[in-house]
Structure 1
Amino acid sequence: MIYLDHAATTIMSTEAMETWIKATQNYFANANSLHEAGEQSSQLLLACRNKLASLVNTTPEQVFFTSGGSESNYLALNSLYQANKHLGNHVITTAIEHPTVHSFFQQMERQGVEVTYLPVDQFGLVSMDSVKKATKEDTILASIQHVNSETGVIQPLKEFGSFFKANNIIFHSDCVQSFGKTPILLPTIGVDAISVSSHKIHGPKGVGAVFFGEQVKWSSVYPLTSHQRGFRPGTLNIPGIAAFTTAAMDMYEYMEDNWAKAKKLREVFLTELKPLEDRLKIEGHPTHQLPWIIGLAIHGVQGQYMLLSLDRFQICISTGSACQSEELDGSSAMHAIYSTEQERLRFFRISFGKNTTLEEIIFVTNKIKEIAHE
């Protein structure tokens, strides 16, 4: 099997798997229990918080664990809104956010909150000008994703962060696709909270995290909850958190090498598809681009047909976000970028992992060319 759907989920690394097994065997106790076994689990949890906090330059007290990126988005946004809703009634997001982010803001609209959905240009980028025009005196919260899961476009968070900070607007970013692949330092880029997920970086499923900046105010959305200072109820998944931490540390240690490898694979992939250039459209931006993700379309070939045809050769790709897999007419990002249903239906996505090889890329591009010529 050739697996090229890492933007949906990654293959768990050997190191993360070994950590998970060891923690399951030796740190099975509830970290809130007062006996020695519980204290040992608590110490492991603290060590994980320390390591993860160091990666984004925040304090361990501002690291909160969740069940994954979707819950991280919802809890981060809801907690921030609850703490700051008395300051205004206007919030900002974009037209290309993850469904969980859009779900939260649609819920806010039903409660009478004014929501502005920022558009994107032909590259999928949000402009600074549109951010400034959307901002009002009573704007209290903004959420702009770092990297789009379908096109790989990187938004200029630092530029947005500086503006929001100057205007006392809380800034959240969905960093599920970027965490572990490019540096994210909260104070440097001016982001107050980010959402991340373990299974996007070769860690286990069912684990995610929210990182808050040191001075950020948030309020619990769960009354009477004592776990994680009220952020999220439930016994913590210590083995999963330990394996997630191992995967994150590994991704950060080899970040530059992984980026260079992904960039090379991307270059080879696009070069091999040159014979199709008259029919080929590559989505994204020339410079603001995560190399791991390639969103593309071939005139005359539906993305679903390409997916099923490649699947016959045990090649796994995607037609977009796995969270929107039942939406045949495309996700919010597809609607923001493409104006017609026909264009949206052509789209498919290739996404690399740290173990993707050059040989696999050449084999896959040959199959894509064969299918396109049929």
Structure 2
Amino acid sequence: MIYLDYAATTPMSDEALRIYNETAKTFFGNTSSLHDIGSSAARLLEICRKELAKLIHSDENGIYFTSGGTESNILAIRSLIQAHRHKGNHLITTTTEHASLYHLFQQLEAEGYDVTYLPVDSSGIISLKDLEEAITPQTILASIHHANSEIGTIQPIREIGQILRQYKVLFHSDCVQTFGKIHVDVEDMMIDSLSISSHKIYGPKGLGAVYIRPSIKWKPCLPGTTHESGFRPGTVNVPGIASFITAAQQICTNLPNEHARLAQLRQYFIRFIHKNQLPITIEGHPENVLPNIIGLSVHGVDGQYTMLECNRHGIAISTGSACQVGKQAPSRTMIAIGKNKEEAKQFVRISLGKWTTTNDIETVISVLKNICNQFS
């Protein structure tokens, strides 16, 4: 099977697996226990916190470990707005956020918050003018993803951060798809809060992290929580976190070379599509885009058919974000960039990873070419 769905999840790296096994045997104590076994686990946890802080250029005191990207998004947003509710009830996000955030903001609307959903252009980028005009004296927080999980478009995050800091609006960014793929620097990007996930970077599933700038107040979602400084309840998964940080160190160390390699594979695919004039549209921004994601529409062909045909030929791709697969409604991202419902249903996503080769790209191109010929 040729796996081209790395944006959905990644297999664990050998080193991450090795570290998990070793840590599970040696550092199995509860970090809240006062005996030596608990204390040794607590020390390892703090080392992991420091190492992750280095990778995103942040203060280690702002790092909190979670069960993954979805929980990170939910806890970060709720912890921040609960602490700043006295300032107002207005929130800002985009029409193309990950499902975990989109559904959270819908829930917050039902709870009485006023939410502005910023539109995007045909390439998936928000307007900085729209953002500035959306800010009111009642605005508490804006949540704008670093890059879209379906088409890979990267937002002008530093410029967004500058505007929000100028108006003293808290800035959360979902960096689940970008961490380890492109440079993430919370100071340079002027981010107050971000979320990342382990299983997108060859670490174990069920692990993630939140960063909140230590100078910013937040309020625990569940009063009385003791773990992770009250940020999240539940015994801390130290072996999983050690494995997560090992994977993070590996992917960030190799980031420049891997970015270049994946970008070349992506361009190889796109050049072939254009050269052979296949009825396929590459979605997203032509330049400000993640190197590992290729969002595309096969004209006149339902995305689910394309995905199933690829699967029949031993190729794993997706019809969009894994959190949306199975839904009858077309991709929100496709609708947001101007597609009608029928066009939106033609979307599929190919996402590349560390084991993707040129031969893999050529194989998927061959299958796509046959699909196009069937419907020509």
Q: CA deviation at 1:270?
A: 1.2
Deviations 1:204-244 (A, max 9, x none): 10001001123221110111111111100000111110110
* Partner SS state of residue 61, structure 1: helix
- For 1:104-119, list aligned pairs within 5 A: 104-119=104-119
Q: CA deviation at 1:300?
A: 2.0
Which residue number corresponds to residue 293 of structure 2? Answer: 293
Task: Output the amino acid matched with 1:71.
Answer: E
Which residue number corresponds to residue 26 of structure 1? Answer: 26
Q: CA deviation at 1:277?
A: 2.9
Q: CA deviation at 1:278?
A: 5.0
Q: Are the equivalent residues in 1 in contact too, given 2:68–2:208 (CA < 8 A)? A: yes
- For 1:93-108, list aligned pairs within 5 A: 93-108=93-108
Q: Which runs of 5+ in 2 are unaligned?
A: none
Distance 1:238 1:50 in 2: 14
Identity percentage of aligned residues: 46
Q: Does residue 84 in structure 1 map to residue 104 in structure 2? A: no
Q: Are the equivalent residues in 1 in contact too, given 2:320–2:349 (CA < 8 A)? A: yes
Deviations 1:274-330 (A, max 9, x none): 355351111011221111001001112111001100111211000001101121322
Distance 1:37 1:357 in 2: 45
Distance 1:35 1:47 in 2: 19
TM-score by length of structure 1 reads 0.98
* Partner SS state of residue 65, structure 2: strand
Distance 1:219 1:334 in 2: 36
Which residue number corresponds to residue 281 of structure 1? Answer: 281
- For 1:247-286, list aligned pairs within 5 A: 247-274=247-274, 277=277, 279-286=279-286
Distance 1:225 1:278 in 2: 56
Deviations 1:136-174 (A, max 9, x none): 111110000001000000001100000100110000000
Which residue number corresponds to residue 161 of structure 1? Answer: 161
Which residue number corresponds to residue 6 of structure 1? Answer: 6
- For 1:1-374, list aligned pairs within 5 A: 1-274=1-274, 277=277, 279-374=279-374
Distance 2:363 2:109 in 1: 48
* Partner SS state of residue 140, structure 1: strand
Deviations 1:246-278 (A, max 9, x none): 010011101100100110110111122235535
Distance 1:274 1:366 in 2: 14
Q: CA deviation at 1:178?
A: 0.2
* Partner SS state of residue 199, structure 1: coil
Task: Output the amino acid matched with 1:122.
Answer: S
Distance 1:108 1:329 in 2: 22
Q: Are the equivalent residues in 1 in contact too, given 2:2–2:314 (CA < 8 A)? A: yes
Q: Which runs of 5+ in 1 are unaligned?
A: none
Q: Are the equivalent residues in 2 in contact too, given 1:162–1:190 (CA < 8 A)? A: yes
Task: Output the amino acid matched with 2:148.
Answer: N
Q: Are the equivalent residues in 2 in contact too, given 1:329–1:344 (CA < 8 A)? A: no
Q: Are the equivalent residues in 2 in contact too, given 1:280–1:299 (CA < 8 A)? A: yes
Q: Are the equivalent residues in 2 in contact too, given 1:320–1:330 (CA < 8 A)? A: no
Q: CA deviation at 1:332?
A: 2.1
* Partner SS state of residue 116, structure 2: strand
* Partner SS state of residue 225, structure 1: coil
* Partner SS state of residue 209, structure 1: strand
Deviations 1:315-368 (A, max 9, x none): 100000110112132232122124321101100000001221111111111111
Q: Are the equivalent residues in 1 in contact too, given 2:88–2:138 (CA < 8 A)? A: yes
Distance 1:330 1:210 in 2: 30
* Partner SS state of residue 200, structure 1: coil
Deviations 1:24-46 (A, max 9, x none): 11111111111111111111111
Task: Output the amino acid matched with 1:104.
Answer: L
RMSD over aligned Cα atoms? 1.1
Deviations 1:153-198 (A, max 9, x none): 0001100000100110000000000011111111111110000000
Q: Are the equivalent residues in 1 in contact too, given 2:278–2:369 (CA < 8 A)? A: no
Deviations 1:2-52 (A, max 9, x none): 000011001111111111111111111111111111111111111100000
Q: CA deviation at 1:99?
A: 1.3
Distance 1:24 1:7 in 2: 27
Distance 1:331 1:367 in 2: 23
Task: Output the amino acid matched with 1:293.
Answer: I
TM-score by length of structure 2 reads 0.97
